[in-house]
Amino acid sequence: MQAEFDYDLLVIGAGSGGVRAARTAAARGARVAIAEDRYLGGTCVNVGCVPKKLYAYASHFRDSFDDAAGYGWHLPDTPTFDWPTLRDNKSGEIKRLNGIYQRLLENAGVTLYNARATLKDAHTVSMSSAKGESEVSAAKILLATGGWPWVPDFPGSDLAVTSNEVFDLDTFPQRFLVLGGGYIAVEFASIFNGLGSETHLIYRRELFLRGFDDEVRAFTRDEMKKKGVNLHFDTNIERIERGDDGLNVTLTNGDTLTVDTVLVATGRRANVSGLGIEALGIELDDSGKIPVNERFETSVPSILALGDLIDSPELTPAAIAEAMQIVEHHFGETTPEPLDYERVPTAVFCQPNIGTVGLTEEAARERFANIRVYRTDFKPMKHTLSGSSERMLMKLVVDDESDVVVGAHIVGEEAGELIQNVGIAVRAGLTKADFDRTLGVHPTGSEELVTMREPSRT
């Protein structure tokens, strides 16, 4: 690389994608720096996947306490939940992870700038921190600043919190409301419902989780309702006002609700504010993302971008995979195969979990002349004695002509764990006959995936 620059690679943003790119490029011998003005680990570690999963674990205990009675366990008193304990234990764990990220970067020989970085030109960034201003140059600059919660404009929207704040609320919301029908909304509705809040979810259309398999959406709706989440569909927030007894939320259907906390989970936008891309002529596309080519180069070839900044799934493993691709393209010797964004396994950690990979039934019907759908829903064995009415859904979508399983969908306990494994089979393009030839693991819920013989519909 050219010695005329301070570094071979300068990464802006130390989230999952940025850190992975910095470390792997350094391991290839590149001189690498990374700039971050917030926390190490980005959204996932600090205000996303990690604390969310810890809170999801916390929220599952309530059902477990209820389930235990049928198995002969009697808890002495009604269990109580202490929010500050969960919140502060979570913060301790995140601090530990921040330290691990710092050590990973240091051990990889990456220079860390605790500074706000702004692009000056195609190879120069100005760094601003409490210590002052400086300029740093690099042959390649990687934008990895991720996403930021987006809040629609309505009266009182400033009284709501976003996923940036919800993990650290001072007091536990006895009455909780979330706006939105995506991943974050359903996950937090399940979390606060499980922790004991009276919980409301407001979604503007008929059924939440748009883009997921329709049967999965309806099944999840029914299961969440059974667990006590109040679902308000076909409505939106008109305004929020502070009242004597909490926040008064008026919905567009005329209903009013009084709650302690309103979480707005209406999507995230590319976090480019103050980055200086406009001055360099890098423009956002219609979906608010930075266009890149197959080498992840923006319209300025020395400036690269990944993760939530570009048009790819807003998922940590996607950003990490993109980071590895970038390093291979720009600091490696081979040209990597393009990433397959179609068969990405993903989980929604609502209660019960959703795990999904590949095509929905609706998308498969559009793509293939004929399909077969195998589906079953059943009461998991655990709930024969627990008395819980929770059910589990398993579904395989098969292209009739090739017999390839093009989609798999699971709703139920640990669906997030299960779908990772089914994802390998779907990614590998295995056929329904391959699934059928695999013996089940007995007794498990997932053996249904290899024992569904007759199509439910074609």
Choices 13-21, 28-36, 112-120, 197-205 (CB under 6 A): range interacting with ligand NDP: 197-205
The count of chain residues that interact with ligand NDP, using the rule CB under 6 A, is 24
91, 102, 230, 236: residue in contact with ligand NDP (rule CB under 6 A): 236
268, 289, 330, 372: residue in contact with ligand NDP (rule CB under 6 A): 268
210 binding ligand NDP? (CB under 6 A)? yes
17, 146, 180, 194: residue in contact with ligand NDP (rule CB under 6 A): 180
Choices 2-10, 32-40, 173-181, 379-387 (CB under 6 A): range interacting with ligand NDP: 173-181
At its nearest, how many Å lie between ligand NDP and the CB of residue 230?
17
Write out the two tokens for 452: 């569904």
25, 138, 185, 195: residue in contact with ligand NDP (rule CB under 6 A): 185
> Which of these is catalytic: 74, 329, 409, 442?
442
Q: Do 258 and 248 form a contact (C-beta atoms < 8 A)?
A: yes
188 binding ligand NDP? (CB under 6 A)? no
266 binding ligand NDP? (CB under 6 A)? yes
50, 142, 161, 184: residue in contact with ligand NDP (rule CB under 6 A): 184
d(CA 177, CA 347): 22
8, 223, 314, 413: residue in contact with ligand NDP (rule CB under 6 A): 314
CA angle centred on 103, ends 101 and 109, rounded to 5°: 110
User: Is 442 marked active-site?
Assistant: yes
Q: Which of residues 337-376 bind ligand NDP (CB under 6 A)?
A: 346-349
Closer to ligand NDP by Cβ: residue 266 or 298: 266
Closer to ligand NDP by Cβ: residue 184 or 364: 184
Closer to ligand NDP by Cβ: residue 210 or 225: 210
At its nearest, how many Å lie between ligand NDP and the CB of residue 291?
19
At its nearest, how many Å lie between ligand NDP and the CB of residue 217?
11
Closer to ligand NDP by Cβ: residue 161 or 373: 161
| Chain residue at closest Cβ approach to ligand NDP | 182
183 binding ligand NDP? (CB under 6 A)? yes
CA angle centred on 172, ends 171 and 173, rounded to 5°: 110
Q: In sequence order, what are the beta bridge partners of 377?
A: 393
152 binding ligand NDP? (CB under 6 A)? yes
At its nearest, how many Å lie between ligand NDP and the CB of residue 305?
17
Q: In sequence order, what are the beta bridge partners of 457?
A: 373
Burial (0-12, 13-18, 19+ Cβ within 10 Å), 25: buried
At its nearest, how many Å lie between ligand NDP and the CB of residue 321?
14
Q: Which string of x and - marks every residue 102-131 that binds ligand NDP (by CB under 6 A)? A: ------------------------------
181 binding ligand NDP? (CB under 6 A)? yes
Closer to ligand NDP by Cβ: residue 47 or 396: 47
Closer to ligand NDP by Cβ: residue 236 or 376: 236
Residues taking part in catalysis: 442
Instruction: Give the residues lining the site for ligand NDP (CB under 6 A).
Output: 152, 179-185, 187, 203-205, 210, 236, 265-268, 314-315, 346-349
